[in-house]
Amino acid sequence: MRIIPAIDIIDGKLVRLTQGDFSQETVYSDNPLEVAKSFEDAGLEFLHLVDLDGARAGKVVNLAILESICKETSLKVDFGGGVKTSDELKKVLEAGASQVTGGSIAVKNPEEFGSWLEQFGPEKIILGCDVKNGKVAVSGWLEESELSVFELIEQFPGIKYIICTDVSQDGTLAGSNTKLYQKITEKYPEISLIASGGVGGLSDLEDLVPTGVEGVVLGKAIYEGRISIPELASFSNKFGVA
């Protein structure tokens, strides 16, 4: 199980939202690069970087931060937020991202998202399935679609990576939706599922191990001091993958 710390960006700062609510924003650092370096220094290998400005604007906004992190660290970065076109996707990959997450685009323009899978390959593309009230949420979680997570997955039979966030759990530190993740991994064993949202401590990470998820994203638990970076690195050494 990959351990993937998250850095969410608004106005160039590292922030966290609660349940996807932009009015419930907490700023944790003015220097996302230094935070990324601290993850690398502890021995962590992966980073989930979200351009929340981009998610709201419908276009990539914080490309420079991605570039600086990829240039000055060896972290394998997956990037999401505002990527809507093949040209933007190319720019994100050229900036150093290892993978790119598409959520809103997969719902609103599935043909475009499907072309990404064909053009760039399933190793580079992550399907973002953000679940709110049982339906997939889009546009920075500001809108709800009519699709369930399973209906969205079924539209892309070639998908290899999925990141699934239960919006109701995100930022609450109240634990992950393990039942949902278990259902997804049982129904689609060939897919590498990345869990996101709700991790509040090491016990929540341990609860995710038997669900079969390939990775887990967490952020607020780190920034609120619920899990130290050394503890996270130790857990990664025990349960993580190279």
Query: Integer distance in angstroms from the first to the last C-alpha of the chain?
Result: 9
Q: Which residue in the list 130, 166, 170, 204 is annotated as catalytic?
A: 130
d(CA 9, CA 236) in angstroms, rounded, equals 24
DSSP state of 78: E
DSSP-derived 3-state class of residue 76: strand
Q: Which residue in the list 8, 53, 170, 204 is annotated as catalytic?
A: 8
Q: Is 43 left (phi over 0), alpha (psi -120 to 50) or beta?
A: left
- In DSSP terms, 191 is beta-bridged to none
**What does the block give as tokens for 235?**
């857990």
Parallel, antiparallel, or unpaired: how do β-strands 215-218 and 13-18 relate? unpaired
204 is catalytic: no
Angle, helices 86-94/110-120, rounded to nearest 10 degrees = 40
CB atoms within 10 A of CB 241: 11
Kindly state the greatest CA–CA separation across the chain.
43
51 is catalytic: no
Question: Catalytic residue numbers?
Answer: 8, 130
